[in-house]
Amino acid sequence: MLSYNQVPVEQRPPHLLFNGIVLWFDQSLDYFHGALLDEDADKLLEKDGDFLIQSRLEPNRSHSKLILAVRKGGKPRRLDIQRLENGFRIVGKSFGDVKSLVEYYQTRTIEMGKGETLQLKHAVRKGKYQMNHSDIKLQRKIGSGAYGTVYRGVLTRDGQLVAVKRIDSDDKTEQGLVDMMKEARVMQLYDHPNVVRFYGFIVDRPPYLLVMEYCKV
């Protein structure tokens, strides 16, 4: 069986995102952090050469935007990855897929102009609380919150019941994501039997989710 990257672009099944947005991108790459906010991504880029890939939804566009984040000189640098009909391009060089792009620049420098270069040294993988949509299965709606709907669901790995908060409206996605991540940061600080357990957050693609312990009423 061919891998996702070996299948011709025109034959790949699309990853449907939010309100018809399609992402022609292999989200299984372990350095793909989805719509992780810059504030959170920057904390993961600890050493020069650390890198990861983020995504951004763009208004009135049919595709999300991909961004390569690299740490250099003690601060993060971000480069747009341009989408092509049959692949991706960065600083004028084209590749069939993002994995090939990354592997190429792990052994070569990215020429930024005026003598400035970047190099991809260490891929930063998802952290303890970063999950994917494939990690959960929603079952039924149980309520609603300030920025979305609450569902009962299960973890696919072991069938554990969980409560899942979901951002619903596309016109609230950006602010909803900001608010959701504020809550996620706070919940990561607490690990106590008397506090609702926090499993993680999901931003690999919309809708964005918070996953926590399911408490029966």
Calpha distance 35→203 (Å, rounded): 5
Domain annotation for the chain: domains and CATH numbers:
4-123 (3.30.505.10), 130-213 (3.30.200.20)
Instruction: Answer yes or no: pTM beyond 0.85.
Output: no
pLDDT in tens, 103-155: 999 999 999 888 889 999 999 999 999 999 999 999 999 998 666 899 999 99
**Half-sphere exposure (CA, 13 Å, Cβ side) for 63?**
13
pLDDT at 63: 66
Comparison of pLDDT for 11 and 169, the residue scoring more: 169
Instruction: Give percent of the chain with pLDDT exceeding 90.
Output: 59
Calpha distance 27→18 (Å, rounded): 15
Answer yes or no: is pLDDT of 25 > 80.
no
Question: What mean pLDDT, rounded, does the chain reach?
Answer: 84
Calpha distance 190→19 (Å, rounded): 35
pLDDT in tens, 62-78: 567 899 999 999 899 99
Longest CA pairwise span in the chain (Å): 63
Question: Residues annotated as binding site for ATP?
Answer: 165
Question: Residues annotated as binding site?
Answer: 165
Two structure tokens written together for 99: 């994995």
